[in-house]
Amino acid sequence: MSKKRVLSGIQPSGRLHIGNLVGALQNWVRLQDQYECYYFIADWHALTTRYDDTSRIKEFIKDVLVNCLAAGLDPEKATVFLQSHVLEHAELHVLLSMITPLGWLERVPTYKEKQEQITDKDLNTYGFLGYPLLQSADILVYRADYVPVGVDQVPHLEITREICRRFNNFYGETFPEPEALLTEFPKVPGTDGRKMSKSYNNCIFLSDSPQEVEHKIKTMMTDPQRIKRTDKGDPEKSPVYHLHKIFSSREEQDRIVEGCVTAGIGCIDCKKVLIKNLFAVLEPIWERRRYFMERPDTLEDIISAGSKKAGEISSETMKQVRQAMNLDGLK
C-alpha cells in the first residue's frame, strides 16, 4: 500500500522562533517517517503582506530552510522545496481563480481580521484576497491527503475543500479532498506572557545565541504578584511555568510548582532549570544550524533537488487538470 501524502508550508516572513519549532517543525519531523511528505517555503504567500519590501526575503527563506533541517527534517525522507521554484502552483492558482466566487474569499475570517490587524500597509490587494486560493493551489497541485496545520488555518482548509469539490463537479473527479491534520500544541508564550509572535517583540528565535536565549529567559516575566523572594507564587500566572510545561519533564514541573506555591524556590532558580532544559532541546539544533549556515551550496542543492521532485508531481497533476478542462491542445 502506498503511503498517504502530506503537504504543508511555512511563510518566510521573519526569523523562526521556538513557537514555530514546537508548533510546526517538530510535527513535520515526526510525520516524515510515516507519510510521503512535501514541505515548502511559501515565499509567494509572504509577498501578500510584504510586497513593498522584499529586501530581507532571501535571508528569511534561508533561515526557514536551515531551521527545518536543524529541527530534523531529512531531505532523503521528506521533499523540501521553495514555492516560487514550482510554477505549477501559479498555473493552478490562475485556473482556480476562474471558478472561485469572490464572496467565498471575502468571507474567509482571516481576511477581515488580518486587514484590521495590519494597519501600516494597504492590504486591499488582489493578491491578499487570493491568499487562501493560492494555498488551495499549493495543496491540490500535490493531490495531498493531509495538511498538518494549526487551528488558525482551518478556514483555509475549508475553502480548499470547497474549491476542490467545485472543480471536481465542473470537470470530473481530479483532486482528492484534503484533510487538515490538526495536532494539539501547547500555546507557546513569549517572554512577556502574550502569545509568542514576531509582532510582539517577545520571541526566542532559533537563530538566537545561547547567551541571548539565557538573557531572554532571565529577564522574562513571572507571576507579577510574586514580588519578594518570600512571596508565594502562582505558577499558572507565570509564562516561565508555561514554558516548563513544554520543555521540562513531569517530575521537574511538579517540583517547580511545589517550590513556587510554597516559596521554596525563587524565580531565578525556576528559570535556571528552564534554561537547562531548553538548552538540551536547542543545542543539537544550534549545532546543525552552524553546519548548514556554513554550507550555502548544500542548501542550494537541497532546495533545487526538492523543487525538482515537487515539480514532477505537480506537473503530472497539471497534465490531468489541463485534460479535465480541455486545455491540453487542439486535438
For 149, what's the count of Cα atoms within 13 Å in the CB-facing half-sphere?
22
Active site residue 195: yes
Contact pattern from residue 103 through residue 142 relative to ligand TRP, giving x for each residue in contact according to CB under 6 A and a dash for the rest: --------------------------------x--xx---
Nearer to ligand TRP, 154 or 268 (CB): 154
Q: Give Cα 291 distance to the centre of its chain.
A: 22
Q: What are phi and psi of 6, to 5 degrees?
A: -115, 140
- The Cα–Cα gap between 95 and 328 comes to 13
- 32 near ligand TRP (CB under 6 A): no
Nearer to ligand TRP, 266 or 306 (CB): 306
Contact pattern from residue 156 through residue 175 relative to ligand TRP, giving x for each residue in contact according to CB under 6 A and a dash for the rest: x-------------------
What Å distances lie between residue 118 and 77, 128, 236, CA to CA?
38, 12, 31
**8 A C-beta contact, residue 93 and residue 28:** no
Nearer to ligand TRP, 135 or 202 (CB): 135
Which 3 state secondary structure label does DSSP give 151?
helix
Contacting residues for 246 by C-beta, under 8 A, at least 6 apart: 22, 186, 188
- 23 near ligand TRP (CB under 6 A): no
- 147 near ligand TRP (CB under 6 A): yes
Active site residue 198: yes
Which 3 state secondary structure label does DSSP give 86?
coil
- The Cα–Cα gap between 25 and 268 comes to 30
- 48 near ligand TRP (CB under 6 A): no
Q: What is the DSSP string of 65-82?
A: HHHHHHHT--TTTSEEEE
Nearer to ligand TRP, 96 or 220 (CB): 96
Residue nearest to ligand TRP (CB): 9
What is the total count of residues that contact ligand TRP (CB under 6 A)? 14
Selecting among 4, 198, 218, 272, the annotated active-site residue is 198
Q: Smallest gap, in angstroms, from Cβ of residue 116 to ligand TRP?
A: 17
- 145 near ligand TRP (CB under 6 A): no
Selecting among 3, 58, 112, 195, the annotated active-site residue is 195
End-to-end distance of the chain based on CA atoms, in angstroms? 36
**Which residues of the shown chain bind ligand TRP in the complex (CB under 6 A)?**
7-11, 42, 45, 135, 138-139, 147, 149, 153, 156
Positions marked active-site = 114, 195, 198
